[in-house]
Structure 1
Amino acid sequence: MASRLLTKTALLTTTILASGSAAVAQSESEPAGSQQPVEEIVVTGDFIPDEKRGTSEIANVLDADDFTRTGDSDMAAALQRVTGLSLVEGKYVFVRGLGKRYSNATLDGSPLPSPEPLSRVIPLDIFPTSFIGNTLVQKTFSPEYPAQFGGGIIALRTKRLPEERRFRVSVSAEANSVTTFSDGLALKGGSLDFLGIDNGYRSIPDLLAQDPNLEQFPTNSAEREAIGEALPNAWSPDNEPLPPGVGLAFNYDDRFDFSDISVGVQLGLSYDSSLQNRNGIRQVFALEQGEVAVNESYTPEACVENLAPLNRTQPGVVADFVDGCGVRSTVWEIGLNGFLNVGVDFGNDHSIKATQLLLRQTTRESVIEQGIDFEGDPRSSVRNDWIERQVWFSQLNGDHFVNLFGGDAFSGDLEIQWRASYAAADRDTPFRRTYDYVLNEATGLLSFDPQTEGNRTVFGELSDDQYGAGLDFIQPMNWFGRPVDVKLGYAYEKKDRESAFRRYFFDNFGDLNRQVIPEFIFTEENIGPDGLTLFPIFQPSDAFTADFRNHQAYIGLDAQVIDTVRVALGGRFEDSVQTAESFGLVNEQDVLSANIDETYFLPAVTVTWEFAQNMQLRGAFSQTISRPDLREIADTQFLDPERNRFIRGNPDLVNSELTNFDVRWEWYFGRRDQMTLGAFYKEIKNPIERAIRIEGSNRVISFFNRAFVDTRTGSTDVRLQGGLVQAEDLADVEIFDTEADLIGVEFELVKYYDVSDLVDWQFFEDRELYLIGNFSYIDSEVNIDESVVDELQLSSATRRLQGQSEIIVNAQIGFEDFLAGEKLAVVLNWQSERLQEVGTLGRPDIFERPPIMVDFVYSREFDLGETPMQVRFSAQNLLNEEEFLSQGGETTENFQIGRTFSISLSAEF
């Protein structure tokens, strides 16, 4: 037995289809007078073509058909097709152009932890579309969702119970034009690397694990020598041809019916391996005499210019060095995922589902940057990374219909929804290696850099434990002859995070020959009391712990006040505490603390006016918040591996507060045809942004959303929670808030054509052509008080909001043949440039120009004997676009990503 909601939907749909098909069959084939009397079936209710129209809010919905049509294999790629959504770094989804901090994601109503150390938002590329039944993207806030709501909520929903047994196996292969069968970088690893699992090869040695600070083992001890020798002597990535990417997926669905009890089981396992070369250039700019000038340049042109004098005496040396100038990177991504859903329906009114989800994403990356460093020296820097990300999600939820109240005022059963979840997210960096070589212009040879920064071995780990529980009540009522849903709910969320990084370097190079590869330098013979010795590197913020507690309650009404007007209103109460403590691994007494303790009541109202049979107008108002990530309020400095830059948290960040206004006109003019036009305005108090600050000789990225000025000295070197200002001095501190405003317009069109009505070709007889497009224009402005711009090292007081594109365009054109199971689509995604980093110290802002992505997807079903099969082909980035960053009109980063072609074959049993 299906649940009551599913039963209602199925009854309505099948009745409409059956009545229509019966009428057609009767008119075409039955002679007059042959009609047999049939029982009259009366179905009451409004026909809603999809959830997008039926919901009380401004929303979009993606389902399995959408995933198939666009050929997207993960949720991040699929969601970029939605109006106003943009994809950043291939994994983060921005809603309405706002940054990832303004988007929130849930799975079956429960929050998800993030395995990323720099972000609260989960990277959605780790969710295969095969695991997801459908996804709701809601752009207006309603009280049943968390108040952490800026651009919108992305509600992922696992698949419903299957209707029948199904076993499906898929295999796939992938090739990239700049990667496959081309040379790439690869560092030696363990025997289980192909599964994304380290077999212990990269683990911290036992002796080092016993004494990570190396306090018990003197530099001349045998134990210190044994620790240095126990570290793998693996430094230099090899050049080797890269194989194609491969994938394998297995899905099993089954259903068991026992009288009034139905049990459904869904099991899915998937494995994928893909490699990507990312070759290009990188430059860093500084301001010299009011002009933007190159400070570091990893480009062939800079090498030629800088080495011109040497070229006159040793042209061969220069040629060899210039050949390697630029940035070379090879990334190997290994995904190993699994899910298990077990659901039980008890009659029509009760259902319980248990969900287990394991998502693993492992990255092996080797990067070589060769060029001219900030001191003007020719340098070659190498970084090798192995990063394991894992999310374990476990949830038990239920849906029950209970008749608790009688009388005319209660028009239906009380629906009770409950959920309890536990999730663990881990990010391990077991063995990061970095080292440098500097070109000796006197000898013309590259020499290993013996300085502390010249070689690093890092072990890092981060773990999140997240607990969640929720209880929701929905009571349909009848007030003055009008349907009203009364909604009440409570939720609790708890998150605990721990993170630690341990860094080491080798010193005492003495007279060693440093003009050879590292494997010849760091031999066992060279490690010992009289030679190379391992030393720890300590920082005051090597580790931190953080926690988050949030009690939430809401009340809402969804009422049909008159025949054509529907009103949804309510409010949400949240009482949350967010804390972080940073400390050193040597002296754990030196603790730097941050605390955000806030209570909110946030209203929301949405009015829907159905002024015509197939048109409606929505208007909405709400207030929401956006909290900083736990990492962002921890006063620690850590490395962002994706940008190879240091980032420092800020314990004085506060929650951002948003006021939201929305309006949208919707026109449903066909079975699947629709058009929408909307506008929105947002006011953000204290938006959190990133900017580059100069701390000593280091360029450090930090966060800010307000400024502090000591009125006695005029200094902005003020931290309320960082220990620089005492409590009795707070009266002398003036606080300057930042503000941002956004105004945007969104347009969407979905139109299907019966091609046979347009072209009299037999090829198009059963094919349906579709056009799907959406366009968003978003204008934003951030304002900072002019009096603190210079003190904050910022370059301007007014600019665009960070991470927000002004224009976002998605388009799809294709055809479908449902009888043959054939689909073809050409898909376009374009986003205008967006502010990537705020300019400081007079330097211009850094902008990212996203690539224009044009993809082609084709799939066809066929039978092989009695086995249903499907073949699918896709081609991505047909225009061969590149990744591009610029600053003041100069190129900061430019990388080739190539065209990607994939083919998959699946069989169903």
Structure 2
Amino acid sequence: MKNFLFVFISLLTVSAFAQKGTLIGTILDKDMNNEPLAFADVVIQGTTIGTSTDIDGNYSLQVDPGTYTVSISFIGYETLTESFTIAAGETKRIDKTLGANEGVTLETIEIRGSRKKESEKALLDAQRNSVEIVQSIGVQELSRKGVSDAASAVTKVTGISKQEGSGKVFVRGLGDRYNSTTLNGLPLPSDDPEFKNISLDLFSTGVIQNIGISKTYKVNSYGDFGGANINIVSKIHSGAGSLKISASTGSATNLGGMDFLVSDGPNKLGFYESKTPKTIKAYRFDTRWDPNTASTPLNLGFGISGGKSFDIGEEGKINFFAMASQKSDYSYKNGTERNYGNRSDIINKDYYNIDKFSYETKTTALGSLSYDIREGQRLTLNSIFINSSTNTVGEYYWQNENRSNNLFDRRSVYDQNQVYVNQLIGDNRISERLDAKWGVSYSYVYADQPDRKSNSLIEQDNPEIFKFSTNSPSSNSRYYQDLKEDEIAGRAKLIYKFNKNEEETFNGKLHIGYQGRIKKRDFRATQYNFNIYGDVFTGKNTIDDFLNASNLADTPGVPGTFTIQTGRGTRSDALRPYTYEGNLDVHAGYFNVEYNFSEKFTAIIGARFDKIDQSITWDTNINSSDDYEDYDATIIDELEFLPSLSLKYTMSEKENLRFAASKTYTLPQFKEKAPFKYEGVNGSSLGNPYLYSSTNYNVDIVWELFPDAGEIFSVAAFGKYIENPISKIQIASAANDFSYANAGDYAYTAGIEMEVRKKLMTMGTDERPSTVSAGLNATYMYTEQELNSQKVIDETNGEKSVLFTDEKAALQGAAPLLVNFDLSYSKDFGNFRPKATLVYGYTGRKLFALGSQGSGNIYQKGMSNLDLILSAKIGEKLNLGISYKNILNTKTVRFQDNSDAAVDVYDYERGSSVGFSLNYSIF
């Protein structure tokens, strides 16, 4: 790392003094009263040097000394050229004013602008002009804040926090089941049986152009909505051809001097295939129980991306973009966990020392091909492949309730998820009044957990010697799980413009559309339990010396041997896996009418009808749906009517007042309904086939002011009322398993959001400015849900008995206070343009788990995070960066609020990390 830093600083120093000239200027729109013309192309003829103007019409190019001709163009406008000569270190300004070609309408500008919405200024401008309430974050802001994936990106938006240890988010206190995720407006499948949505951290910034977050419902969005729809807009090429390469490295600060453990089997690239053994009479496992040691726990990343446009005939153009990247990360955290009863002196399990090692990889490939047939006619084909893996080894040292022995558990888990997304999207202008927009997609996911290994040992008088635990056949086990999910989705709508006014624009738009999705999930799991006979001693890293083919017994019960059984025992069907199959069909028709009643007042009123069919069949370690007496009660067959209303009042050119109201629903997920028992280290969970949908009522009021380009000040109030909300519960039984239920008749959340983005100071000259800017957003909210034990018992026919400690509680995962702050400084030295950003985030105390059987609720304490992001653009080709993340190294702490005292049940420290990156534009 020291060598990398030396090279980084050397490049910075040498390149800063490279002598080039700088061409700058401002492009104006003659037909719009000389307003700045955003997204105009500025290209040096005969070279690959080019750029586009920003939202203020400004551009800047770095060129070698010489004589050139610059070409300035905008689709539908005249093209202007000018020759110039520039010397080393010289700054030359060329300003131009473009006018539209004869016969070209201003609607052309809207189409062109929508293609390049990635700068902060452009996205804020789109937010200001939109009738509906929407927030977006683009690649420019992601880069400035050191964001590497979509999960981290959306947490920079008001009201959104990330779920600890995953790529899932909470929006206004509502977790995964209340949110939806789309790519270019089409749904994405889930990569994890535990969750509804795909992990947002699968999408690196290399595939993202911008991310739109809609926290208010629109009828052209899927009706399974409560918190937000998160729409990832993938990259598409425009402008001059480009080819870029990138590299990164770094490390967590707490990894020095330790043996980093990884599960045996998977390779470093994150690709692995392990076949489930087809016998329990022989030892057919191809990996070791004992973990391996990673040689160099250094994070690495590589990427390449590029695009080009080709003219087809007089009007047509093909745009191609592709990227591929590989990234790996090592992380380690140490901590404690405790399982308490209903008093602080009752400790059921005390995990007094836990080490968790995690090695993650991500391989991403994107291809995008768009064909602009002519004005208003475009076809786009997108294909994305993502392979992600997580190789985790957890070592748990613990004592049971009578503290008679020290015990050691190890769980080695490898998760591999492969996501394939294919989309064909069309935009067609049929006439001046009529447009058609459509899209189809086919997506599928392979989510495998091959060969999860669990061991439980009892420490002896010699701390280096352990005895295999024989309390349960599953104490020492291997588990194989695979999930395949396919989804076909489609959307189509017609937009009809009506009531043309004196300014030759239309006051009204009618949208009529259809959306459909057909999803199928197949889940299979087999667990192999090792029955160990007699007292067998081992070291914690010599488990393979006993659990091997030579000690597998032909005759059960022989001391010093073991036999293998599955969760079904040793009977004839022992190798039949546990399965569940889920099917979801949703077909919807909708309409909305957008009408400008005046220059200041616009309204959108719409309605949607969703026909929902959700069914699930299962054959698990609980029972089979074939034997289920009340199977019909587990099927959801509904017709939902979903109205929505959006109002916008333009108080001035820079100030808006908005209102939105809607009704939506929330479906239970397949895993929540399937009665499959998933065994964790410190607890197990199983589904509830009696779960049914929740109904959501949503309302928002927003005031926003845009003082200047790239600036905003907004305040929003929101409220949500949920009928029959779904919650995770603890079943009242000896095992204390977790399940899911419609835990009460209602829940609600209400709060206030505030956002400020402001340029604080501009110094220097127009040619060499330095800028200080800041952003702040904060959310305060109150949430409450009713908890009714008898309701759960009655609605599950007594199968799920629960004893809530309290009759009311906050929503799980809802933090009452969220704060994000960033402070940026940038300086233009010509060929050397450094930038520094300090990013701070705070998530307040939140409910983690509901109390049961007299035990108090479990809360997670408030957490702060501070990152420092440094970058420098050198010339037009090289970008260098340094990041220092989690500077404060804040602990993750959870406590159980029992009646006699509050006691910590979870305490982890994950360490800080340092990273270095390099991006180079070949052309």
* Structure 2 residue aligned with 1:232: 286
Q: Residue 162 of structure 1 aligns to a residue in which SS?
A: coil
1:746 aligns with 2:758: no
Give 1:527 shift.
2.3
Which of 244, 248, 254 aligns to 2:308? It is: 254
* Structure 2 residue aligned with 1:465: 486
* Structure 1 residue aligned with 2:549: 524
Q: Return the alpha-carbon distance in structure 1 between the equivalents of residues 757 and 285 of structure 2.
A: 59
* Structure 1 residue aligned with 2:911: 898
The more displaced of 359-368 and 541-550 is 541-550
Deviations 1:274-331 (A, max 9, x none): 111121111101125xx562211011xxxxxxxxxxxxxxxxxxxxxxxxxx101101
In structure 2, do the counterparts of structure 1 residues 837 and 587 end up closer, same or farther at CA, with 3 Å as the change threshold?
closer
* Structure 2 residue aligned with 1:307: none
Which of 146, 165, 174 aligns to 2:222? It is: 146
Q: Residue 101 of structure 1 aligns to a residue in which SS?
A: helix
**Amino acid in structure 1 at the alignment position of 2:366:** F
* Structure 2 residue aligned with 1:800: 810
Q: Return the alpha-carbon distance in structure 2 between the equivalents of residues 524 and 39 of structure 1.
A: 81
Give 1:513 shift.
4.6
Equivalent residues in 2 for 1:242-391, closer than 5 Å: 242-259=296-313, 260-287=315-342, 293-299=346-352, 326-374=353-401, 376=403, 377-391=405-419
Deviations 1:220-266 (A, max 9, x none): xxxx2xx31x2136122255665211001111211111222211111
1:703 aligns with 2:706: no
* Structure 2 residue aligned with 1:885: 894
* Structure 1 residue aligned with 2:275: 203
Which of 121, 134, 149 aligns to 1:59? It is: 134
Give 1:738 shift.
2.2
1:784 aligns with 2:837: no
Q: Residue 204 of structure 1 aligns to a residue in which SS?
A: coil
Matched-pair contact (CA < 8 Å) for 2:732–2:802: no
* Structure 2 residue aligned with 1:80: 155
The more displaced of 660-669 and 178-187 is 178-187
Higher helix share: 1
1:815 aligns with 2:815: no
* Structure 2 residue aligned with 1:194: 268
In structure 2, do the counterparts of structure 1 residues 19 and 603 end up closer, same or farther at CA, with 3 Å as the change threshold?
same
Equivalent residues in 2 for 1:727-876, closer than 5 Å: 737-756=744-763, 766-785=769-788, 792-817=802-827, 820-849=832-861, 851-863=863-875, 868-876=877-885
1:687 aligns with 2:741: no
Give 1:480 shift.
6.7
* Structure 1 residue aligned with 2:20: none
Matched-pair contact (CA < 8 Å) for 1:691–1:838: yes
**Amino acid in structure 1 at the alignment position of 2:870:** Y
Give 1:188 shift.
2.8
1:421 aligns with 2:409: no
Which of 226, 240, 244 aligns to 1:168? It is: 244
Q: Return the alpha-carbon distance in structure 2 between the equivalents of residues 665 and 76 of structure 1.
A: 27
* Structure 2 residue aligned with 1:408: none
In structure 2, do the counterparts of structure 1 residues 489 and 68 end up closer, same or farther at CA, with 3 Å as the change threshold?
same
Q: Return the alpha-carbon distance in structure 2 between the equivalents of residues 845 and 476 of structure 1.
A: 54
In structure 2, do the counterparts of structure 1 residues 38 and 793 end up closer, same or farther at CA, with 3 Å as the change threshold?
closer
In structure 2, do the counterparts of structure 1 residues 621 and 872 end up closer, same or farther at CA, with 3 Å as the change threshold?
same
Identity of aligned residues (%): 22
In structure 2, do the counterparts of structure 1 residues 40 and 284 end up closer, same or farther at CA, with 3 Å as the change threshold?
closer
Give 1:823 shift.
2.2
Give me the TM-score of the superposition, normalised by structure 1.
Answer: 0.82
Matched-pair contact (CA < 8 Å) for 1:183–1:242: no
Deviations 1:524-544 (A, max 9, x none): 332241543222222999211
Q: Residue 699 of structure 1 aligns to a residue in which SS?
A: coil
Give 1:428 shift.
0.7
**Amino acid in structure 2 at the alignment position of 1:779:** Y
Deviations 1:710-731 (A, max 9, x none): xxxxxxxxxxxxxxxxxxxxxx
Q: Return the alpha-carbon distance in structure 1 between the equivalents of residues 196 and 346 of structure 2.
A: 35
Q: Return the alpha-carbon distance in structure 2 between the equivalents of residues 349 and 515 of structure 1.
A: 70
Matched-pair contact (CA < 8 Å) for 2:510–2:592: yes
In structure 2, do the counterparts of structure 1 residues 132 and 40 end up closer, same or farther at CA, with 3 Å as the change threshold?
closer
Give 1:510 shift.
4.4
1:501 aligns with 2:541: no
* Structure 2 residue aligned with 1:672: 710
Matched-pair contact (CA < 8 Å) for 1:868–1:907: yes
**Amino acid in structure 2 at the alignment position of 1:475:** Y
Give 1:36 shift.
13
Matched-pair contact (CA < 8 Å) for 1:180–1:241: no
Q: Return the alpha-carbon distance in structure 2 between the equivalents of residues 37 and 494 of structure 1.
A: 51
Q: Return the alpha-carbon distance in structure 2 between the equivalents of residues 460 and 787 of structure 1.
A: 35
**Amino acid in structure 2 at the alignment position of 1:145:** S
How many equivalent residue pairs?
A: 794
In structure 2, do the counterparts of structure 1 residues 335 and 617 end up closer, same or farther at CA, with 3 Å as the change threshold?
same
**Amino acid in structure 2 at the alignment position of 1:85:** I
In structure 2, do the counterparts of structure 1 residues 532 and 14 end up closer, same or farther at CA, with 3 Å as the change threshold?
closer
Matched-pair contact (CA < 8 Å) for 1:795–1:844: yes
Give 1:506 shift.
2.3
CA RMSD, aligned part only? 3.1
In structure 2, do the counterparts of structure 1 residues 292 and 141 end up closer, same or farther at CA, with 3 Å as the change threshold?
farther
The more displaced of 456-465 and 252-261 is 252-261
**Amino acid in structure 1 at the alignment position of 2:916:** I
**Amino acid in structure 1 at the alignment position of 2:468:** F
In structure 2, do the counterparts of structure 1 residues 686 and 261 end up closer, same or farther at CA, with 3 Å as the change threshold?
same
Matched-pair contact (CA < 8 Å) for 2:844–2:863: no
1:433 aligns with 2:453: yes
Give me the TM-score of the superposition, normalised by structure 2.
Answer: 0.81
Q: Residue 148 of structure 2 aligns to a residue in which SS?
A: coil
* Structure 2 residue aligned with 1:399: 427
Q: Return the alpha-carbon distance in structure 1 between the equivalents of residues 661 and 622 of structure 2.
A: 51
In structure 2, do the counterparts of structure 1 residues 240 and 271 end up closer, same or farther at CA, with 3 Å as the change threshold?
closer
In structure 2, do the counterparts of structure 1 residues 261 and 329 end up closer, same or farther at CA, with 3 Å as the change threshold?
same
Which of 489, 510, 514 aligns to 2:513? It is: 489
* Structure 1 residue aligned with 2:642: 602
* Structure 2 residue aligned with 1:732: none
The more displaced of 92-101 and 781-790 is 781-790
Q: Residue 755 of structure 1 aligns to a residue in which SS?
A: strand
Matched-pair contact (CA < 8 Å) for 1:848–1:885: yes
1:632 aligns with 2:665: no
Q: Return the alpha-carbon distance in structure 2 between the equivalents of residues 845 and 879 of structure 1.
A: 27
* Structure 2 residue aligned with 1:104: 180
Q: Residue 852 of structure 1 aligns to a residue in which SS?
A: strand
Give 1:612 shift.
2.3
Deviations 1:478-503 (A, max 9, x none): 26766111111101101101111101
In structure 2, do the counterparts of structure 1 residues 18 and 900 end up closer, same or farther at CA, with 3 Å as the change threshold?
closer
In structure 2, do the counterparts of structure 1 residues 628 and 743 end up closer, same or farther at CA, with 3 Å as the change threshold?
same
* Structure 1 residue aligned with 2:68: none
**Amino acid in structure 1 at the alignment position of 2:511:** K
Which of 541, 556, 559 aligns to 2:595? It is: 559
Q: Return the alpha-carbon distance in structure 2 between the equivalents of residues 443 and 880 of structure 1.
A: 32
Q: Return the alpha-carbon distance in structure 2 between the equivalents of residues 19 and 542 of structure 1.
A: 62
In structure 2, do the counterparts of structure 1 residues 158 and 514 end up closer, same or farther at CA, with 3 Å as the change threshold?
closer
* Structure 1 residue aligned with 2:612: 576
In structure 2, do the counterparts of structure 1 residues 14 and 461 end up closer, same or farther at CA, with 3 Å as the change threshold?
closer
Greater than 6 Å deviation, 4+ residue runs: 11-16, 18-22, 35-48, 585-589, 761-764
